Amino acid sequence: MIRFQIMCKQRPTEAVAQQEFFALAGRASRAARVLFLLCLALLVACGNVSTMGKKGRGNAFVETVEGYGKMLRWGYYDEAVGLLRNQDGSAVDSDPERVARYRISSYDIKSQLLSDTGAEGRVIVRIEYYDIDSGVLRTLDDAQSWWFDQESRRWFLASPLPNFGARKKSAEN
């Protein structure tokens, strides 16, 4: 019986020591886990900052180009002029009244290129259009130069409205 009491007395002492050890180890491992997770979150956040800007600009570029095409396609030329601006801030020479006599039947983006910096873009579009008066269907390839304004966080077109009605020069001339 005495032996049993001694064992019982030792056991709680050992149990307390073990509990203290595991509590310290648990706190240390919890702190290490928290520190690890904080470092991991910081690395992920920092890694996304630089790529997020380019990716965000790329998405905005595609959306702006498509939106511009829809404005032209549905004859909202005055609204489309709002996207026209040179990089120095000056207005691009455009005449929405001149293009108002044309309707677009097809607006097909042939190529869309974004620079490595994500600040400039080039778009080639094939436009099928007709003059309201004559109804003759014509095709035009429109080259567009886009640029991203850091201040306003928007894309602008440095090219004028499509040159509807312009005759292609023949190889003979």
pLDDT tens-digit series, residues 125-141: 999 999 999 999 999 99
pLDDT tens-digit series, residues 40-84: 444 444 443 333 366 788 899 999 999 999 999 999 999 999 999
- Measuring CA to CA, which residue among 86, 61, 104, 105 is closest to residue 157? 86
Domains and CATH numbers, the chain: 50-157 (3.10.450.50)
The mean pLDDT of 1-7, rounded to a whole number, is 50
What is the CB-side half-sphere exposure of residue 166 using CA atoms within 13 A? 11
